[in-house]
Structure 1
Amino acid sequence: MIKNNLYKGFEVELFTGSSNSHIGVSTDVEEKFPDFVKEPDKRNVEYITTPEKDYKFLYEKLITPRKNLRQWLNNRGLTIIPSSTLCFKHDIEFQRSDINNTYHQFIQDNYGISVATSSVHINIGIDDLDRLFAAIRLIRSEAALYLSISASSPFLNNKITGNHSQRWIQFPKTPSKVPFFVNHKCYIDWIKQNIANKNMQNIRHFWSSIRPNGPQRPLILDRLELRICDFVQDINLLLGITAMLELRILNLFENLQTLDPMTSSIFSIDELIEICDQNEMIAAKESLNSELIHWQDGKKVICREWIENLLSDLSPTAEKFNMQHLLKPVYKVLEEGNQSMKWINQYQKGLSIEQIINISIDDMMKEEEESV
Structure 2
Amino acid sequence: MLSKGFEVEMYTSTPEGEIVGLSDKIVAELDGFVREPDSRNVEYTTPPCYRYERLLCDLVRPRVRLREYLKHLGNYTLTPGSTLALGGGDRFHRSDPSNPYHTYIEQTYGTRVVTASIHINVGISDPEVLLRACRLVRVEAPLYLALSAASPFLDGEVTGYHSTRWGLFPKTPAQVPLFESHLHFIRWTEQQLALGTMQNVRHLWSSVRPNGDRRPYNLNRLELRICDLVSDPVALLAITALLEARLIQLMQEPTLDPLQVSQLSAATRAQDLVALTDANEAAAARLSLDAELIHWQSGQPILARDWVEQLYGEVWAIAKKEGFSCFLTPLKKILREGNEAQRWLQLQQQGKDVASVVKQAIQDTANQELTLRDTLCQPLVA
TM-score of the pair, normalised by structure 2? 0.95
| Structure 1 residue aligned with 2:201 | 203
**Does the residue aligned with 1:218 lie in a helix, a strand or coil?**
coil
Task: Tell me if 1:46 matches 2:43.
Answer: yes
Alignment partner, residue 15 of structure 1: 11
Amino acid at match of 1:298: G
> Runs of 4 or more off by more than 3 Å in structure 1?
none
Quote the offset at 1:295 in angstroms.
Answer: 0.5
SS class of match (1:149): helix
Mapped partners of 2:89, 2:119: distance in 1? 26
Shift of 1:194: 0.3
Q: CA deviation at 1:91?
A: 5.2
User: Which residues of 2 match residues 176-187 of structure 1 at below 5 A?
Assistant: 176-187=174-185
Deviation per CA, 1:23-51: give whole Å up to 9, x if none: 00111111111211110111101001110
Whole-angstrom distance in 1 between the partners of 2:17 and 2:147: 26
Q: Which residue of structure 2 lines up, in the alignment, with residue 143 of structure 1?
A: 141
Identical-pair percentage: 44
- TM-score by structure 1 length? 0.97
The correspondence for 2:33, drawn from 18, 31, 36, is 36
Which deviates further from its counterpart, 264-273 or 357-366? 357-366
What is the letter of the counterpart of residue 11 of structure 1? E
Q: CA deviation at 1:228?
A: 0.2
For residue 329 of structure 2, give the secondary structure of its aligned residue in structure 1: helix
The unaligned stretches of length 5 or more in structure 1 are: none
CA distance in 2, matches of 1:141, 1:165: 18
Query: 1:322, CA displacement in angstroms?
Result: 2.0
For residues 293-333 of structure 1, the C-alpha deviation after alignment (integer angstroms, 9 at most, x for no partner) is: 00111010011000001100111111211222101221101
TM-aligned CA deviation for residue 244 of structure 1: 0.5
Paired residue type of 2:112: S
Question: Aligned partner of 1:337: which letter?
Answer: G
Worse-matched range after superposition: 322-331 or 191-200? 322-331
8 Å Cα contact 2:52-2:324 kept in structure 1: no
- Once the two structures are overlaid, the 10-residue window that deviates more, 151-160 or 312-321, is 312-321
What is the alpha-carbon distance in structure 2 between the residues aligned to residue 58 and residue 128 of structure 1? 24
The amino acid that maps onto 2:22 is: V
> Which residue of structure 2 lines up, in the alignment, with residue 260 of structure 1?
257
Q: Distance in 2 between matches of 1:84 and 1:20?
A: 13
Q: Provide the C-alpha distance between the structure 2 equivalents of 1:139 and 1:269, rounded to a whole number of angstroms.
A: 14
CA contact (8 A) 2:347 2:357 kept: yes
Residue 86 of structure 2 aligns with which residue?
88
SS of equivalent to 1:124? strand
Q: Measure how far apart 1:360 and its partner are.
A: 1.3
Task: Report which stretch shifted further, 20-29 or 358-367.
Answer: 358-367
1:25 paired with 2:22, answer: yes
Match of 2:347 in 1: 346
CA contact (8 A) 2:89 2:111 kept: no
Does structure 1 retain, via aligned residues, the 8 Å contact 2:17–2:362?
Answer: no
- Alignment correspondent of 1:297: 298
CA distance in 1 between partners of 2:319 and 2:54 (Å): 19
Q: What is the DSSP-based 3-state SS (H/G/I as helix, E as strand, rest coil) of the residue aligned with 2:97? A: coil
- Residue in structure 2 matched with residue 69 of structure 1 by the alignment: 66
Q: How does 1:290-329 map to 2 (within 5 A)?
A: 290-329=291-330
Tell me which residue corresponds to 1:251.
Answer: 249
TM-superposition CA deviations, 1:89-138 (whole Å, max 9, x none): 22511111100100000001100111000000000000011110111000
Letter of the structure 1 residue corresponding to residue 300 of structure 2: K
Which of 345-354 and 97-106 deviates more? 345-354
Q: Distance in 2 between matches of 1:69 and 1:192?
A: 39
Query: Which residue in 1 is equivalent to 2:274?
Result: 273
Secondary structure of 2:210's counterpart equals: strand
SS of the equivalent of 1:245 reads helix
| Kept in 1: contact 2:10–2:116 (CA 8 A) | yes
Measure, in 1, the Cα distance between the counterparts of 2:112 and 2:337: 30
Structure 2: gaps spanning 5 or more residues = 375-382
Distance 2:208 2:285 in 1: 15
Tell me, yes or no, if structure 1 residue 97 matches structure 2 residue 98.
no
Residue 80 of structure 1 aligns to which amino acid in structure 2?
L
Take 1:338 and 1:93, find their aligned partners in 2: how far apart are those partners?
A: 29
The alignment status of 1:171 with 2:169, answered yes or no, reads: yes
